[in-house]
Amino acid sequence: MAPGASVVPPPDKRTGARLYVDVDTTPGRMDCRGDGCRWGNAPISTRAKDHLVGCLDAKRSFPEMMGVLKPTVNNFGAPPLPVTNEKLHDWRVLWVEAMCDSCLPLGFFETDACRAALGAVTGGRFQGPGDCRMLTSTYVTLVAAQSDARTAERIREADSSAVSMDGETVNRQGVYNFVNYSPLALLCATTRLGAVSAAGDNLLRALKDFFQQPIMAVARLGVSAGGGAAAPTPRWRRLPEERAPAVVSDSPSAMVRMRRAGVSDGTFVFGYGCAAHAGNLVAQDAAKIQPFTLALRSSLYASIFFMRCGRPRTLHAATFSSLAVPGSPPGCGLKGYSRTRWVGESSTIAAVEENLPALRHTLFANTLSTTPFDVPSSVKEALEAPSRAAIGQSPPFLKALPVVVSLLEADAAPLSSFAGLFSTLRSSLDTYFLEIPLTTRVGLQRGLTARYAAFSDPMVALAFYLDGVWGPAQGRVAGLRWAMREGGGGGGADAV
C-alpha cells in the first residue's frame, strides 16, 4: 500500500470522491472515471478530490459530481438541483458570448475566487465557463460568427477608428493581433507569419490581408487601402475618405519600416508608434540623468539586499511591522526593478523611499545584534544622505509618468491625447517639479521631445491642435518641436 493510502471500501460503501474514480481495475491505484481523462494515483481520497474538482472531463461525465464533492445549500436549505449537460452547454455559450463582446480574456474567470463566487450565487450549479483551452477549441467557434457581426456593427457605427498591429509569443511562436480602436478596443483577427521572416514588407502584406477580411470591409476603407500607389491628394484631404485611416504599432525597426511603407503606398493615411511605450521609455531616459541615476542605483542596492538575503529580509520585515501606526493603511513593501513593468523605475524608487525609516532602523538593529550579518558597503552608501536626497527628489516626476502611460495605454485614448499629454508634461517641467535641478529638467524635456518625435506623426499634432479640450495647453508648446526623424513621414508642423 502506498504511503498515506487508505483501505478501499467495498462498492456499496463508497462515498464522495471515491464514486468517481476506478479503484478496482489496478491494485494499489485509482484512475479518474472521467471520459478522456488519464489521471491516476495512489488510492488516497484527498488526492482524488483535489483532482476531480479541476477535472473538466469528470465534470462533463458526471454533472452532479461537484454537488457531491462541494455540497452547498440554497436559501431554503434544499440541496442544489442537478444540471443537465444541455443546460451546462447553453450556459457556457452565453458566457463565452458575453466575454467576447466585452473583450475579456477567456481565462478571466478561471480563478478560485470567481469559481467560489459563481458557485455561491448558483447554489453550486455553475462555477464558471471552464478551462480557456477548452473554450477556445469548442465554444469560441460557436459564437465567432455572431460576435464578429456585432464587432462589425460597432466599427460601422464609429465615425473613425485606428488599427493596431502588435506581436506576442504564444506557444513559442510569434502571433500578431489586429485590434480596432474607436476608441473601444475590438480584437478583429490574429495571424502568424510562419516561416516567413518578420520583415517590414511581410508585416505590411499581413496588414493588407487583414484589411481585406469581411469584418473590416464594413469600415468602408478608401479605394487606396490595400495597396497601389498613393494618390497625389494630400494626406489631410484623404481623412474623410478613410474610416480607419491610422495604424499604430510598437516600434522595432521592422514595424517602423512597415508603417513608412504603408503610408508611402497608400495602404493607410498615417501610422505612429505606441504612445504608452514612448512614455515608458521616457522613464528609462530619466534613469540616465542625475539624480535619477543615483536614486535608481541606490534603490536597487537596497531592495536586492533586503529582498533576497534571508536574515536581512526577516529583520527588515519585523522592523517595518513594528514602525507601522495602528489603524493606518498597511505600508508598501520593497519592489524589485522590472523593465517590462510600465515605468518600473517609479515603483522601485517610491517603494524604497517609503521604506527608508525601516531600512535604517534595520541596519541600526543589526549593529546591536550579537551575531550581526555582513552589510555590503554599497548598501550602506545607498542609505546615506546623498542617496536619500536623490531618492526623495525622484518620485514626484516618476509618479506622473505612470499616470500618463495609463491614460495612453492600449492607444484607446483620443489621438489628441498623445501630443496633449506629452506637451503638458513637458511644459510642467518649467514651473513644477522644482525639487529637480534645472539642468535635469532641461534634460527631461529633451527626452520627451525626442521620444515624441520618434514615435509620432504630423497628423498627431494636427489632432492635438483641432481638439478644443487641449486649448489651455496649445499655447504652451513652443518648446515641443514636432519634428520627425528624417524619412519618418514628413517635416514639422508645417507639413500638416
Name, of 172-176, 189-193, 364-368, the range with top average pLDDT: 364-368
pLDDT at residue 230 tops 50: no
* pLDDT tens for each residue of 175-202: 777 777 766 666 666 777 766 777 777 8
Q: Residue 494's pLDDT band (boundaries 50, 70, 90)?
A: very low
Question: What integer pLDDT is reported at residue 341 of this predicted model?
Answer: 62
Q: Provide the terminal-to-terminal Cα distance of the chain, rounded to the nearest Å.
A: 81
The more confident residue out of 65 and 184 is 65
Which amino acid does the sequence have at 340?
Answer: T
Q: Residue 347's pLDDT band (boundaries 50, 70, 90)?
A: confident
Which residue's entry shows cell 513644477?
432
Question: What integer pLDDT is reported at residue 7 of this predicted model?
Answer: 58
Question: What integer pLDDT is reported at residue 2 of this predicted model?
Answer: 45
Question: What integer pLDDT is reported at residue 337 of this predicted model?
Answer: 75
Q: Residue 473's pLDDT band (boundaries 50, 70, 90)?
A: low
Q: What is the 3-state secondary structure (H, E, C) of 432-459?
A: CCCCCCHHHHHHHHHHHHHHHHHHCCHH
Least confident of 114-123, 208-217, 301-310, 403-412: 403-412
pLDDT at residue 350 tops 70: yes
- Mean local confidence (pLDDT), 252-274: 80
How distant, in Å, are the alpha carbons of 275, 304, 307, 386 from that of 301? 31, 6, 10, 14
Question: What integer pLDDT is reported at residue 495 of this predicted model?
Answer: 31
Q: Residue 218's pLDDT band (boundaries 50, 70, 90)?
A: low
**pTM score above 0.85:** no
Question: What integer pLDDT is reported at residue 123 of this predicted model?
Answer: 75
Question: What integer pLDDT is reported at residue 241 of this predicted model?
Answer: 61
Q: Residue 488's pLDDT band (boundaries 50, 70, 90)?
A: very low
Cell of 107: 481565462
- The fraction of the chain above a pLDDT of 90, given in percent, is 0
In the chain the domains, ranked by start, together with CATH numbers, are 11-69 (no CATH), 158-273 (3.30.420), 286-396 (no CATH), 414-495 (no CATH)
Q: Residue 323's pLDDT band (boundaries 50, 70, 90)?
A: confident
Question: What integer pLDDT is reported at residue 102 of this predicted model?
Answer: 72
pLDDT at residue 110 tops 80: no
Q: Residue 342's pLDDT band (boundaries 50, 70, 90)?
A: low
pLDDT at residue 405 tops 80: no
How distant, in Å, are the alpha carbons of 18, 53, 114, 127 from that of 118? 25, 15, 6, 5
The more confident residue out of 387 and 130 is 387
Peptide bond into 291 cis (omega under 30): yes
pLDDT at residue 79 tops 80: no
- The fraction of the chain above a pLDDT of 70, given in percent, is 76
Least confident of 47-56, 142-151, 184-193: 184-193
- Mean local confidence (pLDDT), 452-462: 78
Q: Residue 483's pLDDT band (boundaries 50, 70, 90)?
A: very low
Question: What integer pLDDT is reported at residue 80 of this predicted model?
Answer: 54
Burial of 11 (0-12, 13-18, 19+ CB in 10 A): exposed
Question: What integer pLDDT is reported at residue 3 of this predicted model?
Answer: 46
Q: Residue 492's pLDDT band (boundaries 50, 70, 90)?
A: very low
pLDDT at residue 39 tops 70: yes
